[in-house]
């Protein structure tokens, strides 16, 4: 595992000038968006959820994943996506 730790440290050393910039006075509110399709995967009828999180004006996180259960309605698929979005924020 030491090989991977060295690789991570080398990456961090080489990217010290890369980061997110937030101008003074910009609101740092955290906003989460979610969406899903309904039974988009035809073989098992599972939906796909997508989420993104924005802090200020910068995208800080995104995620797309096939849901683990079969939603019985579009509303249920959307609730599952919203739950995933909230869980990632917390």
- pLDDT tens digits for 7-41? 999 999 999 888 888 888 888 999 999 999 999 98
Mean residue pLDDT of the chain comes to 93
Q: Tell me, yes or no, whether 52 lies in a domain.
A: yes
Q: Which domain holds residue 63?
A: 27-89
Burial class (CB in 10 A: 0-12, 13-18, 19+), 64: exposed
Task: Look at residue 42 and give its three-state secondary structure.
Answer: coil
Distance CA 41, CA 51 (A): 18
Tell me how many domains the chain contains: 1
Q: Tell me, yes or no, whether 40 lies in a domain.
A: yes
Mean pLDDT for the stretch of residues 37-61: 93
Flag whether pLDDT at 57 surpasses 90: no
pTM above 0.75, yes or no: no
Distance CA 8, CA 13 (A): 9
Flag whether pLDDT at 76 surpasses 90: yes
Sheet holding 48-55, edge to edge: 30-36, 48-55, 58-66
Q: What is the pLDDT of residue 22?
A: 81
Task: Look at residue 2 and give its three-state secondary structure.
Answer: helix
């Amino acid at each position: 595992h030491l090989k991977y730790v060295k690789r991570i440290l080398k990456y961090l050393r080489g990217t010290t000038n890369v980061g997110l910039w937030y101008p003074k006075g910009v609101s740092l509110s955290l906003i989460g968006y979610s969406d899903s399709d309904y039974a988009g995967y035809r073989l098992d009828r599972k939906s796909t959820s997508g989420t993104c999180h924005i802090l200020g004006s910068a995208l800080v996180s995104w995620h797309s994943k096939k849901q683990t259960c079969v939603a019985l309605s579009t509303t249920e698929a959307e609730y599952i996506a919203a739950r995933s979005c909230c869980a990632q924020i917390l």
